[in-house]
């Protein structure tokens, strides 16, 4: 898109590109570049974008960065909680995943099937 001078949709394109970077795992620099480019914009407040970044960092093994973003997120939804829980599991941080599920319950969010499957693999 950059080389073709095509303007991306500001809120729907970043999560898709970030997901592609996470899937490739070798595209760490590209994912970090996207994060850096939106860091001081209103896009960083978009929950879908933040959740995509948390997932990206988890999948690339940067769990501390993922957790920092997760913790800085104000209003979290079930998807953002599940992404962080599953990220912990993917990185063999099982106790952290279980602890986060308890924290999720304290926030009055119900664990769903995604949460349970993620925890079962811990």
Rounded to whole angstroms, how far apart are CA atoms 36 and 53?
A: 11
Q: What angle do CA 11, 14, 20 make, to 5 degrees?
A: 145
For the stretch 4-37, pLDDT in tens is 554 455 555 667 667 766 666 567 888 888 888 8
Contact 70, 84 (CB under 8 A): yes
- Which residue did the predictor score with more confidence, 122 or 33? 33
Q: Coil, helix or strand for 58? A: helix
Rounded to whole angstroms, how far apart are CA atoms 48 and 66?
A: 14
Considering the entire predicted model, what is its pTM?
0.82
């Amino acid at each position: 898109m950059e080389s073709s001078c095509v303007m991306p949709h500001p809120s729907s394109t970043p999560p898709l590109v970030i997901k592609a970077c996470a899937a490739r795992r070798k595209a760490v620099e590209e994912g970090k570049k996207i994060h850096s480019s939106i860091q001081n914009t209103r896009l960083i407040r978009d929950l879908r974008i933040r959740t995509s970044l948390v997932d990206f960092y988890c999948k690339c093994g940067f769990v501390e960065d993922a957790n920092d973003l997760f913790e800085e997120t104000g209003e979290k939804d079930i998807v953002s909680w599940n992404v962080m829980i599953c990220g912990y599991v993917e990185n063999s941080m099982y106790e952290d995943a279980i602890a986060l599920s308890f924290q999720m319950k304290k926030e009055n969010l119900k664990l769903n099937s995604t949460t349970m499957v993620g925890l079962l693999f811990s």
